[in-house]
Structure 1
């Protein structure tokens, strides 16, 4: 089986959730004998610009997908399936044998009024236009039931959407032995009797880490012996630390 994977981010270049998921699945597909061709900024087929995407957002993404459409025009039959991650084709760039994975939607972020609000409002309109132009034979997967709902709300037929959550690499993430748990608690100064709430992921505007801190401050008032552990980096790491100090929380 020969697969084409098109994603706007992919390791070892800057990569967040989309790129990490694509990379992990591609590596497993290769082990099963599939031939995987990756198209991404700085991948084996180098299209678009990760710097443009980082600086210009939706403009950089549209440029990347335009490059994909242009580069692979007439080559669709060379692949058994084309796997697209959050595609945005303004013009005729969709493929018949394509599987579209949506990790999130700009529409959902706009509805939640995530900042910058104007940006996501504009991005959601572009997204709605692009996704509803996809080939009739294309099928969608979404990483959460919420994303499934958002796709339906922007006009994608429910019959075309399948919910497939992100997987977990059990070689990396697995229960620790009791002694390991004790040593980890000691290393990070977490009392042995404390209940631990774990937040794992990038600290970005989309994840709303300040709201998480606000909610935890309320939980702390109702439940004793609880610690919030935040594991992740991101552009809001500094602001999140400052907000914890502002709320005078010692168990974060």
Structure 2
């Protein structure tokens, strides 16, 4: 059994990767492991880890060229040896060559690259070198992530023994039967008989909310009794607000900004709409399942991996009219509640946070 576990993250914003590192580190700390954190100074991740009484040390930002800085590699090697690190986790693609080389030189037992990005790893010599010789475990968060990550690489670079497929996990206490913190209908003056839909996530290019907005515009021509909450912030926020204004949808779409009561919101909506271009293992899909709500989503591989079309949600082509028709189909579906209950049943079996931590322990740490 391993004892000393290090998480490396130099992200300056709070995102999915930071959230995973923080929650996983805390959970393993509670299970008796000695947890070490290397983070950039004064970041949200660093501050939250310190607040949770985890051992936090500072490291400068790591980028793709850090791998070639032998002074920095040696410094991390010394840190690993000094603290007798048995296991190290890193998630960012910019980190894996640098961190895995230092781990290899320090004779760290398990060097884990958690791959959350569903994009190909370039077939460069130094990527192959790190994956084949330094990384001991390649932890993919979905089959989609695994297949997409390796598609440009020769078959033998990442051996089957190294591959660990461990899906994300969502906290049951938060999302299964949460308390209602704010009455959303009352707060935003939404009629009780209006269908309430939510889109939850960063307002940015990857999430492609413009496709949902255009579908809502089409839906509005045939059906009127609905409202859509766009929950989140991002660099496309103003662009999407302008589009909503241009399409005269301000009475249909409500931008809530960032909210900390997402579990409470999910409990109050009828279903969730999702329009991302690509995902690794989308948190919001798992959270929707945990909350016993169905989902309407554009059909991409990672979503198809989680959603059973027609049973726990409905998938649509990325086409404005078809997406609008799919939204209408869910609105008119009298089995929405049963679909949500079935989704939650699957979540409880496969995608709880404790299940994820158990899998990490069984498949990597022991």
Q: TM-score, normalised by structure 2?
A: 0.52
Matched, 1:185 2:224: no
Name the residue aligned to 2:97: 89
1:1-252 paired onto structure 2 within 5 Å: 1-9=3-11, 14-42=13-41, 43=46, 44-49=56-61, 61-63=63-65, 69-73=73-77, 76=80, 78-86=84-92, 87-89=95-97, 92-93=101-102, 95=104, 97-107=110-120, 125=122, 130=127, 133-134=130-131, 135=133, 138-155=136-153, 157=158, 159=160, 160-176=162-178, 180=180, 183-221=183-221, 224-249=224-249, 250-252=251-253
Contact 2:143-2:165 within 8 A present in 1 as well? yes
Unmatched segments (≥5 aa) in structure 1? 50-59, 108-123
Residue 8 of structure 1 contacts residue 61 of structure 1 at CA under 8 Å; is this kept in 2?
no
Displacement after TM superposition at 1:94 (Å): 5.5
SS of residue in 2 equivalent to 1:244: helix
1:136 is displaced (CA, Å) by 5.8
Structure 2 regions of 5+ residues with no counterpart? 47-55, 254-366
Contact conserved, 2:122 with 2:152, CA < 8 A, in 1? no
Q: 61-70 or 33-42: which moved more?
A: 61-70
In 2, Cα distance between equivalents of 1:35 and 1:172: 26
* 1:216 Cα deviation from its structure 2 partner: 3.5
Q: Which has the higher contact order (CA 8 A, sep 6+)?
A: 2
Residue correspondences, number: 221
Do the aligned partners of 1:6 and 1:82 also contact (CA within 8 Å) in 2?
yes
Residue 143 of structure 1 and its aligned partner are, at CA, apart by: 2.6
Q: Please give the alpha-carbon distance, in whole angstroms, between the structure 2 residues aligned to 1:205 and 1:126.
A: 26
In the superposition, relative to structure 1, how do residues 218 and 15 fare at CA in structure 2: closer, same or farther (>3 Å)?
Answer: same
Q: Which runs of 4+ in 1 moved over 6 A?
A: none
Q: Deviations over 1:159-214 (max 9, x none)?
A: 2333333222334334356xx49932121223322333322222222222223323
Distance 1:132 1:196, change over 3 A: farther
Per the alignment, residue 339 of structure 2 pairs with: none
Helix, strand or coil: the match of 1:235?
coil
Do the aligned partners of residues 46 and 137 (structure 1) sit closer, same or farther apart at CA in structure 2, a change above 3 Å counting? closer
The 3-state SS of whatever aligns with 1:72 is helix
CA distance in 1: counterparts of 2:122 and 2:204, whole angstroms:
22
Once residues 175 and 166 of structure 2 are traced to their aligned partners in structure 1, the CA distance between those partners, rounded to angstroms, is 19
TM-score by length of 1: 0.72
**Structure of greater Rg:** 2
